[in-house]
A = this chain, B = another copy of it.
Amino acid sequence: MTALPAPADHDPAPAVAGLDTIVSLAKRRGFVFPSSEIYGGINAVWDYGPLGVELKNNVKRAWWRAMVQERDDIVGLDAGILMHPEVWVTSGHVESFTDPMVECANDKRRFRLDELPGTEELTETEKRDPGIVEKLGLKCPVDGGPLSPPRRFNLMFRTYMGPVEEEAAAIYLRPETAQGSYVNFKNVRETSRKKLPFGIAQIGKSFRNEISPGNFVFRMREFEQMEMQYFVRSEDAARIFDEWLPRRWEWYLRYGANQERMRFREHAPDELAHYAKKAIDIEYRFPFGWKELEGIHNRGDWDLSRHQAASGENLEYFDAATNGSFVPWIVETAGGPDRCAFMFLIDSYREEEVKGERRVSLALHPELAPYKVAVLPLLKKRPEIVEMCQRIVSDLRRDVMTVYDDTASIGKLYRRQDEIGTPWCVTVDVDSLEDGAVTVRDRDSMTQERISADQVKRFVLDRLATARGG
């Protein structure tokens, strides 16, 4: 691997926004709610509220534009969550997609072995050692009771399809979108006429029955992925792998991630997944430590070879130039919009004192911000002002997410918009009725400028294009 950008192996400043701060803001302002909260919640599932769904959709759109729309060599796919169960036998998930779990003999509580105190340094091989609990003298962290030897717990959710609940119809909720790209490889290649190297990008829900989920939307049992499978010649795989590392890194920076809180981390040989030849994570320093944001994997020909053997379908690529056929290798980039959105919330969080008051703002990239513009009347008792606001809102709404608010004083309205990351506030005042001009306030600089009301949409669209680098 050559010339990684800024390998952040130094220790950056501690997190400004702690986990509680973000979770509390997210709930208070309608980004993320605990799922089924009125029934006491459901563990490790979160619902995206009115602002969260916009943020997350914006993250997905930004990824799709960079990965599909702006590239000639990658096409999209949206495969089902439910797949033929053989897929998961072939992929190795039925056998190997497991975590080591131990059970307390007293209270029957179950734990992931590698999350017990004292197991931080265990290698993957040691985690599989049946005698490891005894060797380390591990006890139940709740009541100190004796723990069982570790057994492998499969993380796939199972359900039953068809009108008879019997084993024959047992299927799984996909634990990753990648397999959907592999089993559709032939159909996609034939219909899209793409030549190697080319990729298949997918965004969609996956499910993992985690033993110990947690940390807000970081590890959920239901989560969303943004995965891209890039099919290449074996001899190009190492080079192409190296190319994707900075490309994906840059994507995060483009949308405002703080590279002081990012680093690359290569997987140790005994840590590699069963399919991987090489894996490097882009890690982010979450409030709870360095964690994977995205993984870039060289999967070799493992996936397509296995599916070819198991299905009997020819998945080779015919190279017209050499008249040869071969099974392509795969370089994968695997991230997710939940972690992305979470990271952007943390990185954009600002707290400062302005004129003796605490000001909270989210310096979100304008393209990611839930609302692009807020239109605010300085005097809501003047119907002409409210009408002028409404005209501006109607015009803006055709193109961008816009909000109107008149339920507080202007200072409070600004603070509300700051806290949800709205880049521009447009204020209509008494003078506006005379001169047809409005005040546009910038979220980050808090500077105000006066522009013609007719120019507001142009102003916003131009600023958005500039922010996008267009």
Using a CB–CB distance below 8 Å, which chain A residues touch chain B?
27-30, 33, 35-43, 45-54, 56, 69-70, 72, 75-84, 86-87, 101, 110, 153, 157-165, 171, 173, 180, 183-184, 186-188, 191-193, 205, 207, 209, 211, 221-222, 307, 310-311, 313, 315, 393, 397-401, 404, 407, 468, 470
Task: Tell me, in angstroms, the Cα distance from A307 to B38 when the chains sit together.
Answer: 8
> What is the minimal beta-carbon distance from A271 to any residue of chain B, in angstroms?
22
- A36/B159 contact (C-beta < 8 A), A42-B83, A393-B72 known: no
**Contact between chains at B101 and A46 (CB < 8 Å):** no
Seed contacts A45-B80, A45-B83, A205-B205; 5 additional CB < 8 Å A-B pairs: A36-B86, A47-B78, A48-B77, A49-B184, A72-B393
Contacts of A313 in B (CB 8 A): 38
Contacting pair B50 A188 (CB below 8 A): yes
Contact A209 B45 (CB under 8 A): no
> A43 to B160, Cβ gap below 8 A?
no
Task: Judge whether B78 and A48 touch: CB under 8 Å.
Answer: yes
Given the interface contacts A39-B311, A43-B161, A49-B77, does A33 sit within 8 Å of B82 by beta carbon? Answer: no
> Can you pick out 17 interface pairs between chain A and chain B where the beta carbons lie within 8 Å of each other?
A29-B191, A35-B80, A38-B311, A38-B313, A38-B315, A39-B86, A39-B311, A42-B83, A49-B77, A50-B77, A53-B76, A53-B77, A70-B397, A80-B222, A82-B222, A163-B209, A193-B407
Instruction: Return chain B residues, CB-CB under 8 Å to A162.
Output: 43, 209
B76 and A54 contact, CB distance less than 8 A: yes
Tell me if A159 and B159 are in contact (CB < 8 A). yes
In Å, the complex CA distance between A276 and B205 comes to 31
| Contact for A187 among B33, B207, B211, B221, CB less than 8 A | B33
Q: Is the CB of B161 within 8 A of A153?
A: no
Chain B residues with Cβ under 8 A from A42's Cβ? Answer: 80, 82-84, 161, 171
Chain B residues with CB under 8 A of A164: 110
Q: Once bound together, how far apart are the Cα atoms of A398 and B469, in whole Å?
A: 10
Chain B residues in 8 Å Cβ range of A86: 36, 39
Closest chain B residue, CB of each to CB of A171:
B42
A53 B78 Cβ-Cβ under 8 A: yes
Are A157 and B161 in touch, CB under 8 angstroms?
Answer: yes
CB-CB < 8 A to A87: which residues of B?
36, 39
**A35 near B82: Cβ-Cβ < 8 Å:** yes
Instruction: Give bound CA distance, A50 to B78, whole Å.
Output: 8
Q: Which of B80, B161, B222 contacts A81 (CB 8 A)?
A: B222
Query: Contact check: which of B29, B186, B221 meets A38 at CB < 8 Å?
Result: B186
Contact A33 B184 (CB under 8 A): yes
CB pair A191–B307 under 8 Å, yes or no, is: no
The chain B residue sitting closest to A80, CB to CB, is: B45
* Given A53-B77, A307-B38, A311-B39: A173 in contact with B153 (beta carbons within 8 A): no
A173 contact set on B, CB distance < 8 A = 159, 173
Give the distance in Å from the alpha carbon of A157 to the alpha carbon of B79 in the complex.
Answer: 19
- Contact (A35, B163) CB under 8 Å given A53-B78, A470-B398: no
**Quick one: which of A28, A50, A186, A192 has the most chain B CB within 10 A?**
A50
Q: Report yes or no: A397 in contact with B69, Cβ–Cβ below 8 A.
A: yes
Q: How far is the CA of A76 from the CA of B48 in the complex (A)?
A: 9
For the complex formed, measure the closest distance between the CB of A391 and the CB atoms of chain B, giving whole angstroms.
13
How far, in whole Å, are A199 and B72 apart by their CA atoms in the complex? Answer: 40
A46 CA / B78 CA spacing, docked (Å): 9
- Chain B contacts for A40, CB-based, 8 A: 84
Inter-subunit contact A192/B80 (CB<8 Å): no
What B residues does A163 contact at CB under 8 A? 101, 110, 153, 209, 211
Task: Write out the residue numbers on chain B whose beta carbons fall within 8 Å of the beta carbon of A311.
Answer: 38-39
CA distance A187 to B83 in the complex (A): 35
Interface centre among A30, A54, A164, A207, by most chain B C-beta atoms within 10 angstroms, is A30
* B160/A157 in contact, CB under 8 A: yes
CB neighbours (8 Å) of A207 from chain B are 82
A397 to B40, CA, bound (A): 47
Q: Which residues of B contact A393 (CB under 8 A)?
A: 72
Residues on B with beta carbons closer than 8 Å to the beta carbon of A193: 407
